[in-house]
Amino acid sequence: MTALPTHSNSLPAIRRFDAIVFAALAIVMLATRPHSLSEYIHLPETSLASFFVAGFYIRSRLAFPALFVLGFAIDVVTIGVMGGSDFCFTVAYWMLLPAYGAMWLAGRFGAARIGMTPATLPALILLVSFAALLSNAFSSGGFYALSGHFPDATIAGWLPRLERYFPGTLMATLSWTGIAAIAHIAAERFAGLTVPVSSR
């Protein structure tokens, strides 16, 4: 099998791989986050999956703030230029930092402790599901508690929102991370490549 070198003198190759992964994640975020293609096809939003995949594959820690800034820029343009709703753009917006951080760290953990093989897919599904639930608690729970739109916010009042919105978020996240897993396994099995992960 052909492996991407991972020792010190392969730094340009590693950076090139990281750049390719980041570019792919940026493209799918640009395509799905503003829902600009919804007139033609409905694509589920990729942000949680993007941060998990970035944590799993990209070595540079700069990828996390870069991906967050990209998401923020997309939101600003969607609201300020494309006329999107600013309902979610409150002080609670910054709860996306720990929300995305949970996915990023789960990706790092998955790369270091689980890896990517057909046999490890069940464990990765559980990891992604738990991380998505934690992330949703930060983002949706933070919005419910801090946005000012729900002055009488309580945990009991938030639980129906979790029940209503989390299944869709989870399915979108599992779908996009599943695509990444399929691409990884196919590259190794059919193309003879060893796809590096961030722990290597």
How is residue 2 annotated by DSSP? E
- Which region holds residue 132: left if phi is over 0, alpha if psi is between -120 and 50, else beta? alpha
pLDDT digits (tens, 9 = 90+) for 19-64: 999 999 999 998 888 765 444 445 568 999 999 999 999 999 899 9
Return d(Cα 101, Cα 93) in angstroms, integer.
14
- pLDDT given at position 192: 72
- pLDDT given at position 31: 86
The residue whose two tokens read 């897993």 is 181
4-8, 87-91, 162-166: least confident range = 4-8
- pLDDT given at position 36: 52
Give residue limits of the domains in the chain: 2-194
- pLDDT given at position 39: 46
pLDDT digits (tens, 9 = 90+) for 104-139: 999 999 999 999 999 999 999 999 999 999 999 999
Mean pLDDT of the chain: 87
- pLDDT given at position 25: 95
Higher-confidence residue: 103 or 188?
103
- pLDDT given at position 20: 93
**Per-residue confidence at 85, pLDDT binned at 50, 70, 90?**
confident
- Judge contact between 30 and 74, C-beta under 8 A: yes
Got the DSSP string for 74-86? HHHHHHHTS----
**Per-residue confidence at 80, pLDDT binned at 50, 70, 90?**
confident
Q: In this structure, which amino acid lies at residue 135?
A: S
- Judge contact between 54 and 21, C-beta under 8 A: yes
- pLDDT given at position 71: 94
Q: In this structure, which amino acid lies at residue 167?
A: P
